[in-house]
Every structure is written in structure tokens, then in C-alpha cells.
Amino acid sequence: MPLPDIDSIQSYNAAPNGTLVDYSPSEDPTTDQPAAGANAHQASSAMATRTQTRAYCSFTYVSGASAPVTEHDAVWGNSAGVIPVVARISAGKFSVTWPTTVSDALGATHSVNLRRAWGNIVFDATTVYVIYCTRSAANVINVRIVQDGGSGFDPVSVPIDVFAV
């Protein structure tokens, strides 16, 4: 299955263990790919789906409840229909919600299942921020930002990035 799902080599091929076998030797190794080459490629691709970043979002807290998304992308695309929604919960707490289902490049529908996340915050030379990201639902990442004293803090006009696998 294509991303955002996690794959194994068996996902790609119907053979008993997922690997292909050459029907006959390659006629021209400069133009024909042997089964061993395809198997190696598919195994690497499948294993990469386990830790590859699925989605990225950057937002900037403005004031009140406003935290507009300034940039986003995901393995399912970055069209207007899949823009994550950022909501301010309280001082220094935000939630980033991606769609519950998305379509892949082949048109199949997949459930979004984000497993872990991390964040980045741009800070000035005088203020130290710490950002924590936790998963609260398959498609929701909670973000907590604290100042060096440990209290929740809304960094106004500071880009906040969230990455999820």
C-alpha cells in the first residue's frame, strides 16, 4: 500500500514471501532489471515507510485563538483540502489536526495514523523555549511550548514547526 501506510515487501508482491523471481535470465543487463534488483529496491522502500516523516506543518501564533498555518506538506500532498487545522487550547498549548482520511497518488483512501511527533521553534537570542509534541489521536498532535521557567507561553509571531511520523 502506498504512504501514509506502513509497508512490507509483501505489500508490493503477491509471491509467498513478497520477493520476485526471474522467469529467465536478463537478456540485456543494461536495460532489464533482474528480480534481485527489484526486490532490493522494494525492500528498502518498504522499510523506509516505517520511519519516514508523514506530515509537516508550520504555524505562527498571532493573538487570541489565531494560529494560521504558514506552510504544510505531507506524503499525501499539500492541496487546500488537506491543510492541517491549528487551534490554541491555552497558553502555550496548541493542537494540530490533519484529516482523518486521505487519498494517495493512486486514488485509494487511507486512514491517517500518526505515531510520534517532534517540534521546532525559532527563538530569539534572549528567550529560550522548549517545545513538546504528543499524539492525542491518530491524526492529532498536541504541542506544548514552555519558557525556560517551565510555564506555558505563547510565542507571538514566532514560527512553530511540527513534524509527524
Q: Give SS3 for 36.
A: helix
Q: What is the DSSP string of 26-60?
A: -S-TTT---HHHHHHHHHHHHHHTTTS--EEEEEE
The predicted model scores a pTM of 0.83
Check the CA dihedral 84-86-87-92 and report its sign: positive
Question: What's the CA gap between 63 and 88, in Å, rounded?
Answer: 10
Residue 148 grid coordinates: 525556560
The residue to which cell 487551534 is assigned:
87
| Helix extents (H) in 71-158 | none
pLDDT in tens, 65-124: 778 999 999 999 999 999 999 999 999 999 999 999 999 888 899 999 999 999 999 776
pLDDT band at 50 (very low <50, low <70, confident <90, very high): confident
Indicate if the pLDDT at residue 14 is higher than 70.
Answer: no
The reported pLDDT for the residue numbered 157 is 86
C-beta of residue 135 within 8 angstroms of C-beta of residue 160: no
pLDDT in tens, 115-141: 999 999 977 667 778 899 999 999 999
